[in-house]
Amino acid sequence: MKPWQVFVDSYSYWAGGEDIWRYLNDNEVPDNKEIARKTRYQATRYTIVDEMLYRKGVQCPLLRCISREQAQHVLAEIHERIYGDHAKGRMLAGKATRVGYY
């Protein structure tokens, strides 16, 4: 097993993700003081490894942030192929979490 798991929380569509990326990568914060404060606080839960954004997990060491399109693909695979049953809603989300996706 790899030292990281995948995390479905894309910084490409999540409002604060790009700010966190800039803060961690370039040490830049937004001009708005409140958003800058939130960015600094939330960035403590993230790290960058090999130019990829990861969230520090509780049960897993690192959870990889992926795009919305990749997230749809991952959930479709869990739903249809990988685990053989056709889970819906919370059950699907629970399975995704158990295999390392958030």
Per-residue model confidence as pLDDT tens digits over 70-98: 777 877 777 676 555 555 666 766 666 66
Q: Tokens representing 71?
A: 């997230």
Q: What is the pLDDT of residue 6?
A: 47
Cβ(37)–Cβ(14) below 8 Å: no
Q: Tokens representing 27?
A: 């040490």
Q: What is the pTM of this model?
A: 0.63
* 2-13: average pLDDT: 44
Lowest mean pLDDT among 47-51, 60-64, 88-92: 88-92
Pairwise CA distance, residues 29 & 36, whole Å: 5
Pairwise CA distance, residues 1 & 98, whole Å: 14
* 40-57: average pLDDT: 87
Q: What is the pLDDT of residue 1?
A: 29
Q: Where are the domains positioned within the chain?
A: 5-98
Q: Tokens representing 18?
A: 């790009």
